[in-house]
Amino acid sequence: DAGVIQSPRHEVTEMGQEVTLRCKPISGHNSLFWYRQTMMRGLELLIYFNNNVPIDDSGMPEDRFSAKMPNASFSTLKIQPSEPRDSAVYFCASNVEAASGGELFFGEGSRLTVL
Amino acid sequence: GQSLEQPSEVTAVEGAIVQINCTYQTSGFYGLSWYQQHDGGAPTFLSYNGLDGLEETGRFSSFLSRSDSYGYLLLQELQMKDSASYFCAVRDRTDSWGKLQFGAGTQVVVTP
């Protein structure tokens, strides 16, 4: 079975440019999460969706960040305009909302470098 | 709010046993999870404790004491491939099943 699929795996861009990260969750999973990982702040939850609806976006750093989930098999995280401090690894994860066990399935991440 | 504390680094030799402690403070509590992450890789799920006691999965075991707000991950018969970061994560009772708060991670270094 395919896991969570993220693209691009690596992105290098210049400050001020728009960045779009993409995620395809595992089929059948109804919750999707965007995390950001940096050395300084560790793994931070940015936003999560349940049944395609944003439930909690309190972790989104500022208005430059936005996320959408137009359908059950696709989500995007957009940064516009990007800044050097946005450099991080962005992980998408999914699971089944009602399942017990605390297991999140993570994608391989998108490593973003903003110059 | 939530806070989790775990040691930043542990070094041990192959074949040894390592215990990674995690203490947490949450407004509510629903369970403690553990994840492993190799350099450059994605976090992968290791174990979950919803109730007090020990959960064993092969060489890895996880323990929870809800009354002490404490848990640990035990790595036995250490192998070189166990060199990785290990994160504890909690789910607050008021949150969604999947909304986890992660600790800062413990870097485990296994030496020959």
Please write down the long-range contacts of B62-71, taking CB distance under 8 Å and 24 or more positions apart: B62/B32, B62/B34, B64/B32, B66/B29, B69/B23, B69/B24, B69/B25, B69/B26, B69/B29, B70/B21, B70/B22, B70/B23, B70/B24, B71/B21, B71/B22, B71/B24, B71/B32
Taking the Cβ of residue B107 and every Cβ of chain A, the question of whether any pair is shorter than 8 Å is answered with no
Q: How confident is the model at residue A1 (pLDDT cuts 50, 70, 90)?
A: low
Q: Residue holding tokens 């990260």?
A: A21
Supply the pLDDT for residue A2. Answer: 85
Q: Which of B43, A40, B99, A56 is nearest to A67 (CA)?
A: A56
Supply the pLDDT for residue B97. Answer: 54
Please name the member of B31, B43, B104 whose beta carbon is closest to the beta carbon of A106. B43
For residue A105, is pLDDT > 70?
Answer: yes
Instruction: Tell me the pLDDT tens digit for each residue of A68-104.
Output: 999 999 999 999 999 999 999 999 999 887 655 668 9
Order of strands across the sheet that contains B70-75: B3-5, B18-25, B70-75, B60-65, B53-57
Mean residue pLDDT across chain A: 93
Q: Which of A14-18, A42-46, B28-32, B43-47 has the lowest mean pLDDT?
A: B28-32
Q: Residue holding tokens 């779009």?
A: A20
Contact A35, B42 (CB under 8 A): no
Instruction: Tell me the pLDDT tens digit for each residue of B37-96.
Output: 999 999 999 999 989 999 998 999 999 999 999 999 999 999 999 999 999 999 876 655
- Asked whether the beta carbons of residue A103 and residue B41 sit closer than 8 angstroms, the reply is no
Please name the member of A42, A91, A104 whose beta carbon is closest to the beta carbon of B45. A104
